[in-house]
Structure 1
């Protein structure tokens, strides 16, 4: 049963907005067996985040929480943080058609206007004079991008000035995004970004017999490159913010919970950039004998995020989560080719690095996304469970502590946001059982 649900709101810097919310959570943990932490992803307002949480909890109750023992008395911490919506219309303007130049121009302006916004809390507006000036300087270059190297350089420099360079990492090409000569960056983003993804009947790219085709962002030129640069900057901004909220805010609250209840099992569950948030939380919590699990639902970070020497040299940004045993329970990772948002966003990194993977964004692409391909180059991966199954009353997953389970969800997750259904809930329920 659900013993209580507790919203806790965090600012963009990871500060608790209302300390009374934390007090209510801590007071509500006295008679619980487990704490489930939920973190949303690409949401614009509280209503969207609340709908996600309500639906997932309803699905959990529908598949049946354990009646006794582990997971039977569940408290829920509902994280609210100022994420941005990474709109598919910006990633694939005009449905991805190579002729959609007007749609691209509109998407470019929208992407820049979104970068200007830097709200302190979820669902609010917010910017500052410095940020506004940088974005306005970038917008002023748009008309000259096709003909002027100086305009292209100025555009890149203004976009980079919006970003925190300390968060760059090799696993997603963000270091190269900050370091490359501006003209070189434009050149690498100028060409189309085809991705092998499924299409529905009558899809723009034309279906193959297997229901898939090369599609994605098929525009080319300087303004298409400028939009991709703005989109990558949005990704970078969100990964930075998710890390700060997880590392500082959520980990701080959970540290206080563990002071009161040292043996309380905690189950970190994140969707989209919320997946990065809860992984950053796990990395910030000191290793403990108390169970700590991780559920990444269509997570929006590199599929090498948990990897060990993914390129022969570098570990993923969150390798320590597993390598240093911050997480000692099971890790589940849902992934599907149906996830257009992750499937199209991450090939941008391949363009930065000039990687010519046959199918940009798939598991062979060094810069694919977790929600598209699962955790790659991760030695803790366990092959005993590899599918997110359709709901079956008698089925129970055989998840094990300390192992990573990549759950391919082509048949059970229809798109990036479809993570609150009963198939997901059944897997999450069985994570709760593991001790």
Structure 2
């Protein structure tokens, strides 16, 4: 069996429908779980939307390396020293979400031809995500319409309807708190008009006494993660706005796919493992859309007969900040509320968030702009459409909020409670900064608190 950072490690590969493509590896995993004197704890860990297999393996390796170091900390060593861990690394077919216009995007405000070509490239990428011949036909028709969009509202309406159809998947249930249904039911010309004004992300939060009002970046920078988060969704022609719409469409496709892999693929494995090895502790960990994948897994485990796991760790998770709530402040139940009500997680739930997460912030700022009536919406914690990885869980009775602690500082984790840990201010400096020792210290503390 492969080892990764001295942990027994098995790679589990799933296709876009949640089908396990290497069943022999799952057989190997179950055999390792059943051996005499074998593991006491199993960790299932999932990567996010932008990782290929090499990047995902790097994420898992670094996360496990710092977790291994934290296991020796005095306050958890007594609980963790007797534990023997078996790790399942989840690999699913994700696709990159463009975080800035410096990583292959367009930086010229005047070069319409370059922006048009970039939009064509994005459409080609969307075509690769098509699941049916009809969806392929729709993207081909969108490509034909693309050059005629300037000043043509009818063409814009048809174009948006065509490209957004790629996010539809037969049998998939969409999360209303992510705003896709509202976006899909809005004319394309209106969507593109909403993107004409700059979408500017806040870079820091003011004092809570000021009502959580946000300090705003001036929007002049287009840096990547950890740099200035100013974001202009339009560069001077319609094709810059089209690029943002296409990028968001890819985001919704990946959200649906991550949910499918979690609920049909990973949940099947966890359910089987818990049935065969009921004494084995199970810990679910997910980064970004891997967090949504694990939330979907836990939601599937809430269906009868309910199967319990021991901890759930969401690292800068990319789903609605109302996803676990009983009410999104508009009377709608959170998409993953079953996880809480059915008490799927017997131990603590940890959700890291950071105001420095430009990726979740960007995606939800654009979604909020398009789905709502407020053209200045930025997807903050007061917004109907915001991400848990940016804002923490909102309107959730079964939650606490506090700072992400430095290594060695004690946590008081409670079972069946979502502990929202704020890494803003340098402890989580970007969407991908989830392998550092402060983050894995929170995970080690959560695992140590499980009996």
Q: Which residue pairs with 1:108 in the alignment? A: 119
How far apart, CA to CA, are the structure 1 residues paired with 2:322 and 2:101? 25
- Structure 1's 182 and 359: CA in aligned 2 closer, same or farther, altered over 3 A? closer
Q: Which residue pairs with 2:326 in the alignment? A: 308
Contact 1:297 1:333 in 2 (8 A): yes
Asked if residue 9 in structure 1 is aligned to residue 16 in structure 2, the reply is: no
- Structure 1's 419 and 105: CA in aligned 2 closer, same or farther, altered over 3 A? farther
State the Cα deviation string for residues 72-124 of structure 1 (Å, max 9, x = none).
21111100000111021359986888668666545433332221223xxxxxx
Shift of 1:177: 1.9
How far apart, CA to CA, are the structure 1 residues paired with 2:236 and 2:173? 29
Q: Which residue pairs with 1:188 in the alignment? A: 194
Structure 2 residue aligned with 1:397, among 384, 404, 411?
411
Asked if residue 177 in structure 1 is aligned to residue 183 in structure 2, the reply is: yes
Shift of 1:40: 0.2
Alignment of 1:15-414 (within 5 A): 15-30=19-34, 31-64=38-71, 66=77, 68=79, 72-89=83-100, 104-118=115-129, 130-164=134-168, 166-197=172-203, 204-205=220-221, 215-217=231-233, 219=235, 222-286=238-302, 290-356=308-374, 360-383=378-401, 386-391=402-407, 394-410=408-424, 411-414=426-429
- Structure 1's 221 and 379: CA in aligned 2 closer, same or farther, altered over 3 A? farther
State the Cα deviation string for residues 256-297 of structure 1 (Å, max 9, x = none).
101111232211110111000000000011475854321111
Q: Which residue pairs with 1:433 in the alignment? A: 448
State the Cα deviation string for residues 58-80 of structure 1 (Å, max 9, x = none).
11111225455687211111000
Contact 2:14 2:91 in 1 (8 A): yes
- Structure 1's 52 and 71: CA in aligned 2 closer, same or farther, altered over 3 A? farther
Please report the RMSD computed on the Cα atoms of aligned residues, expressed in angstroms. Answer: 3.0
- Structure 1's 289 and 46: CA in aligned 2 closer, same or farther, altered over 3 A? closer
How far apart, CA to CA, are the structure 2 residues paired with 1:70 and 1:312? 47
- Structure 1's 213 and 11: CA in aligned 2 closer, same or farther, altered over 3 A? closer
- Structure 1's 146 and 376: CA in aligned 2 closer, same or farther, altered over 3 A? same
Q: Secondary structure at the match of 1:72?
A: coil
State the Cα deviation string for residues 276-326 of structure 1 (Å, max 9, x = none).
000000001147585432111111111111122112310111111112212
Q: Secondary structure at the match of 1:59?
A: helix
Unpaired segments ≥5 residues, structure 2: 205-214
Shift of 1:359: 5.8
Contact 1:11 1:82 in 2 (8 A): yes
How far apart, CA to CA, are the structure 2 residues paired with 1:366 and 1:95? 30
Shift of 1:139: 1.9
- Structure 1's 302 and 92: CA in aligned 2 closer, same or farther, altered over 3 A? farther
Contact 1:296 1:334 in 2 (8 A): yes
Contact 1:90 1:107 in 2 (8 A): no
Contact 1:34 1:73 in 2 (8 A): yes
Contact 2:12 2:90 in 1 (8 A): yes
Contact 1:375 1:406 in 2 (8 A): yes
How far apart, CA to CA, are the structure 2 residues paired with 1:255 and 1:223? 47
Contact 2:301 2:308 in 1 (8 A): no
How far apart, CA to CA, are the structure 2 residues paired with 1:357 and 1:28? 54
Contact 1:283 1:320 in 2 (8 A): yes
The count of residues paired between Structure 1 and Structure 2 equals: 420
- Structure 1's 88 and 324: CA in aligned 2 closer, same or farther, altered over 3 A? same
Contact 1:8 1:79 in 2 (8 A): yes
Q: Secondary structure at the match of 1:252?
A: helix
